[in-house]
Amino acid sequence: MRAYLIGYLITVVLFSCNGPENVTVSKGFPPVYPDYIDVTIPQNIAPLNFLLRNKPEKLVVTIKGKSDSITVKGEQKIEIPIDHWKNLLASNLNDSLLVRVLARLNGEWVQYKPFKWYVKKDKIDSYMSYRLIEPGYEVWNKLQIVERNIESFDERVLADNNLTQGSCMNCHIHGSQSGKLSMFHLRGEKGGTILNKDGKLRKINTRANGMISNAVYGDFHPDGRYAVFSTNIIIPELHANRTDRLEVYDTASDLVVIDLDSDKAITQPFLSDTTAFETFPVFSADGKWIYFCSAPKVILPDSIKSLKYNICRVGFDAVKGEIGTKVDTLWNAKKISGSVCHLKASPDGKFLLYTVADYGTFPIWHREADLQMMNLQTGEIEKLEKVNGPNSDSYHSWSSNSRWFVFASKRDDGIYGKPYFCYIDASGKAYKPFVLPQRDPEIYDYMLKSFNIPDLSDSPVPFDAADVEKVYMEQEAEQVK
Amino acid sequence: MKGYFKKYNWIFPVGLAGLSFVFFQFFYPYHLFFKEQIQLFLYTPDYFLSYFKKPAWLSAYLGDFLTQFFYLRGGGAAILASLFCVEWVLTVRVLKRITSSTKAGLWALLPASADWVLHCNTLHGVSVSVGFILVLCMFLIYAALSGAWISYAILILFSLTGYWLLGSSFLIFPFLILAYDFNNQRVHWMKWIIVLVVTFAIPPVLRHHYLLTPIQSFIFPAFSKQSLLLQGALLLSVISSFFLKKIEATYSQLISFGIVTVLAFVLSLGIINKADFNLEKVLSLDGETYFGNPDRVIELSKKYDLKNKQAAYFTNMALTQKSLLAENLLDFYQPFSLGLIPPVTPEENWQSIFVSNEVFFLIGDINMAQHSAMLGNTFSPYQRSSRMIRRLAEINMVTGDSAAAMKYLRILSKTLFHRKWAESQVKMVQSSETNKWLAGKRSQVSDADLLRKSNDYLSSLQFLVVQHPDNLVAVDYLLCYLLLNKEVKLFRENYDRYYLKLNRAVPKVYAEALLIQLVTDKASQQEAQSYSIHPEIVTRFTEYTRIFEQTSGDMSALNKQFSKSYWFYYHFATIQKK
């Protein structure tokens, strides 16, 4: 009896080890979602779980490295065990993984054309913050600023407007890609710009006398003492045609540098005059320049399609706390035909990443909005064709090693922005990007919020939603003078 | 009479269920349809896990599961009636356990009646009722245990997990324990203090984890403090039955009669106070608009004769669908143009914002419809509404954004009652086929562009009409918009530019307005005749003018004969500012 039982078990094991019979080989790639076909990934990314859009009854995925592999089974989607995944990535640095997908469709097994995941030794910063917001164009209801550990699936809420009387919150950015220095704007009656320096939170009223608004788009100086901001009078209007949705433009916009140690505003008359719009300022990696977008004033909204922003720069002396007087134009909108926004200088000082749309200053609803990258040493422009999708690509942020950046893309459905990661090698070549992995890849299908302004950091910020609530409710705002 | 109440104890739950069913099914059904429309119940693991981000995951999930059946005619009323019945049965058991009252069957009517009253509010969720039922079950489990250690263990387990499972519904639990022990003369101060402290400390301690304000942490999953009335009613039942127990035997009939009278009074008063029958009427117009029954909307509107902008809004849309707007516009109350296109501003309540997309979708302003539907979803209580998702799917099918349409259809395909519709639409999107409805809607959409503020309705309407002069719905809305704002000169200009080209007979309201402007413009007889205005209307206009001049514009002299005319509206309609 015992011998029979052992024989039976051996038979069962043998049968289960055999692959399915009568497998049809498909010449095409599997219809995976998210699109992870032949993407380049960092060694410290969370597992790239995916699903098949053609709803198979069974799914067997083998991820094969040089010497080891993982086989994952599922129904329609797979969840790769994170420990095995980490080991597999670690043993295949600067190499590739071959992903074989076998699916049972209507009772028949199909072996799809395998695809590759190229594993880069260069790590990406482990944390990313973003705002979760309904893409309701004009107004908001429930908002959260969230921080995600992109090495795993852990996320935590940094700020929730349910705890701050429903006020708007936006633009959480890090200084030098560090969680020790960050800020975001919290609007509303008790609001202000919330500044995190080593976990100590300050609330600053950034609107000094003579400024047209509170601070809006901004960036930290590399030494952390200064921050440069635009101040904007923002007008949202709706398109009426089939393809466009919202247009947001400024009827006035200026630049200001704020000394965060003394709460003092620093400006130059030519950066706050009425003949031009200046916006999206950032510091260069060495802190000696302020890059910004500038457009000659036009009549709005009638001439909205003539509203085209250049890339300009002006010097900044951090020792004296002074803005220079000479403005250089690095990208001439008239000559190139387009309008630039969202400038981001790479931490190694080599590149300037930005978004180009046909016109205007709000690319997230511009389908044609694409990323471009300027080599700051040669002035060459890389159009990032492998990176850009058919819908808006914007709101990008660099990893501290300048090898990766994240950006918000609406390529999936044109409405909901999601964070995509892209690898840039030392020569400035860009590789196919991939979307932020999720434990359950289906989550993107049912999510009704956009990932807005993703921003990378090498460490977590040392505050949470309770701290923000306390600062909002109890702390007096410091006034910028 | 003696024993009557005891013998016929079954009457209470059956009566309660029957009456509440009749109430919700025949007097309040559209509130229940609306409750389904403002939520979205998905059969996905991620959706289930989303409930763990807040307390009360179990009661909230079960409550929302049940709410999806409100989609069915009679489904909502049947579910609520059943829940009240279960509440009654469990409350009877709880009262018997605690007070051993012979009147438990009567006292138990109080919480169920309170819940009935609370359900008259669109924001009172089924999750609150489910939470209440489950906390009663937890108490009964505790009370059924005889072993000291096991009952302590269960008590600790319930105290620690109650808030997680049931949210604020669990807050009644320590009071039930206290009352039960007290009545059984088991004084355990330490146990009571621990249970009370743990139960009431958990909400504020966990509120940051759940991202709730202090008040929200004590009422979740309810939206309003009012929902705590349900637990208050239970406490009142316990206290009352406890104190009146001693005289129950002596004054049995009197007490029974008293309880029934008080309950009937409280229930009637509660329904009168809390049931919003005006809103029910508005929701009936809204519901029939959603279900695609314009004839029914007009019929109900005539019956109710409501004087508010929401009713005017749905009525005008129904009239438009039946091509009757320009004929019958002034047969109904019109609060200037607010009843045509209500403002979508932060000052408006969420229900107005929720339904605001309907008119834009109807007139073909697809981008505004999308904007409004997004806002409707954003400002709905759960930020996921089946009705808005459905509309967003339709909008993106019309604009040809198949990827966006597929996103919304995928969501709906994970529901129980919208799945069939979603699957049929998916087939259409994937095959790139169009049906008559889709082709019609697509023909309204423009490829030309205009930038406009979201509340600049006049520019939007003019744009629509310029782009598609054959869009009769938009032409009617533009002309009526001008008329209701008394812009008669502009009306005539637009009428000449767009309506004349449609070669349609001049409708009553337009004819009346044209006569005003023709007189103002001192038009020649030949010019006036070119409009082919019905002679009867001209005669009435002459008569109106005669009386108006004779009485120096006395409204009462004209009211009887001309109150439904545009002339009367033009002269006497005023906006009443609150």
Q: Where are the alpha helices (DSSP H) in A422-476?
A: 443-446, 465-474
**Contact B451/A306 with Cβ under 8 angstroms?**
no
How would you classify the pairing of strands A276-283 and A381-382? unpaired
Rounded-to-integer distance, Cα A436 and Cα B323, Å: 51
Ordered per-residue pLDDT tens for chain B, 578 residues: 445 555 667 788 889 999 999 999 999 999 999 999 999 999 999 999 999 999 999 999 999 999 999 999 999 999 999 999 999 999 999 999 998 888 888 899 999 999 999 999 999 999 999 999 999 999 999 999 888 889 889 999 999 999 999 999 999 999 999 999 888 888 788 888 999 999 999 999 999 999 999 999 999 999 999 999 999 999 999 998 888 887 877 887 888 888 888 888 888 999 999 999 999 999 999 999 999 999 999 999 999 999 999 999 999 999 999 999 999 999 999 999 999 998 887 778 899 999 999 999 999 999 999 999 999 999 999 999 999 999 999 999 999 999 999 999 999 999 999 999 999 999 999 887 788 889 999 998 988 999 998 889 999 999 999 999 999 999 999 999 999 999 999 999 999 999 998 989 999 999 999 999 999 999 998 999 999 999 999 999 999 999 999 999 999 999 999 999 999 999 999 866 54
Least Cα separation, residue A156 to chain B (angstroms) = 10
What pLDDT sits at residue A22? 86
Nearest to A239 among B367, B384, B400 (CB): B367
Question: Which chain A residue is nearest to residue B415, measuring alpha carbons?
Answer: A446
What pLDDT sits at residue B6? 57
B328: which 2 tokens? 């019958």
CA atoms within 13 A on the CB side of A105: 16
A139 to chain B, any CB pair closer than 8 A? The answer is yes
How would you classify the pairing of strands A24-25 and A108-111? parallel
**H or E stretch at A151:** none
Nearest to B351 by CA among B286, B254, B257: B286
The pLDDT-based confidence of A9 (bands split at 50, 70, 90) is very low
CB pair distance less than 8 Å for B208 and A464: yes
**Contact A233/A202 with Cβ under 8 angstroms?**
no
A446 to chain B, any CB pair closer than 8 A? The answer is yes
CB pair distance less than 8 Å for A238 and B400: no
A416 to chain B, any CB pair closer than 8 A? The answer is yes
β-bridge mates for residue A313, sequence order: A291, A328
Question: Which chain B residue is nearest to residue A440, measuring alpha carbons?
Answer: B46
pLDDT tens digits along A198-246: 999 999 999 988 889 999 999 999 999 999 999 999 999 999 988 888 8
The pLDDT of residue A12 is above 70: no
A473 to chain B, any CB pair closer than 8 A? The answer is no
Least Cα separation, residue A155 to chain B (angstroms) = 12
Contact residues, A window 189-248, toward B, CB-based 8 Å cutoff: 236-247
What pLDDT sits at residue B7? 61
**Contact A396/A406 with Cβ under 8 angstroms?**
yes
What pLDDT sits at residue A25? 95
Question: Which chain B residue is nearest to residue A249, measuring alpha carbons?
Answer: B451
CB pair distance less than 8 Å for A240 and B44: no
Q: What's the mean pLDDT when you consider all of chain A? A: 92
Nearest to B44 among A162, A244, A442 (CB): A442
β-bridge mates for residue A406, sequence order: A397, A421
Rounded-to-integer distance, Cα B540 and Cα A264, Å: 74
Contacts of A135 in chain B (CB under 8 A): 374
Q: How many CB atoms lie within 10 A of CB B215?
A: 12
Contacts of B346 in chain A (CB under 8 A): 139
Contacts of B404 in chain A (CB under 8 A): 413-415
**How far are the Cα atoms of A8, A115, A153, B164 from residue B51, in angstroms, in the given order?**
45, 36, 18, 10
The pLDDT of residue A287 is above 60: yes
Nearest to B379 among A141, A442, A465 (CB): A141
Rounded-to-integer distance, Cα A434 and Cα A421, Å: 5
CB pair distance less than 8 Å for A134 and B411: no
Question: Has this prediction a pTM greater than 0.95?
Answer: no
The pLDDT of residue A253 is above 80: yes
Contacts of A241 in chain B (CB under 8 A): 367, 446-450
Return the residue matching tokens 């600053």: A204
pLDDT tens digits along B421-468: 999 999 999 887 788 889 999 998 988 999 998 889 999 999 999 999
Percent with pLDDT over 90 in chain A: 86
Q: How many CB atoms lie within 10 A of CB B368?
A: 26
CB pair distance less than 8 Å for B454 and A138: yes
pLDDT tens digits along A160-177: 999 999 999 988 999 999
**Contact A423/A120 with Cβ under 8 angstroms?**
yes
pLDDT tens digits along B347-374: 788 999 999 999 999 999 999 999 999 9
CB pair distance less than 8 Å for A413 and B453: no
Peptide bond just before B221 cis, omega within 30 deg: yes
The pLDDT of residue A85 is above 80: yes
Rounded-to-integer distance, Cα B394 and Cα B411, Å: 13
Nearest to A238 among B208, B410, B452 (CB): B452
Average pLDDT of span A79-103 = 97
**How far are the Cα atoms of A51, B4, B20, B109, B140 from residue B10, in angstroms, in the given order?**
54, 11, 16, 12, 21
Nearest to A308 by CA among A237, A361, A354, A270: A361
Interface predicted TM-score (ipTM) of this complex, two decimals: 0.93
Coil vs helix vs strand at B138 = helix
A82 CB-contact burial (10 Å; exposed 0-12 / middle 13-18 / buried 19+): middle
Name which residue leads in pLDDT, A137 or A123.
A123
Nearest to A304 among B384, B411, B451 (CB): B451
Contacts of B463 in chain A (CB under 8 A): 240
A334 to chain B, any CB pair closer than 8 A? The answer is no
Nearest to B463 among A141, A157, A240 (CB): A240
A105 CB-contact burial (10 Å; exposed 0-12 / middle 13-18 / buried 19+): middle
Question: Which chain B residue is nearest to residue A467, measuring alpha carbons?
Answer: B208
Residue count of chain A, please give it.
Answer: 481
Name B478's Cβ contacts closer than 8 Å, sequence gap at least 6. Answer: B458, B461, B462, B464, B465, B494, B498
DSSP letter at A114 equals P
What pLDDT sits at residue A138? 62
The pLDDT of residue A84 is above 80: yes
CB pair distance less than 8 Å for A141 and B346: no
Rounded-to-integer distance, Cα B165 and Cα B59, Å: 7
Contacts of A242 in chain B (CB under 8 A): 366, 399-400, 445-447
CA angle B10, B13, B16 (to 5 degrees): 135
Q: How many CB contacts within 8 angstroms connect chain A with chain B?
A: 122
Contacts of B378 in chain A (CB under 8 A): 134, 136, 139-142
A151 to chain B, any CB pair closer than 8 A? The answer is no
Which of B49, B51, B350, B367 has the most A C-beta neighbours within 10 Å, making it the best mutation to test the interface with A? Answer: B367
Name which residue leads in pLDDT, A9 or B120.
B120
Contacts of A141 in chain B (CB under 8 A): 378-379, 383
The pLDDT of residue A13 is above 70: no
Rounded-to-integer distance, Cα B374 and Cα B370, Å: 6
The pLDDT of residue A15 is above 60: no
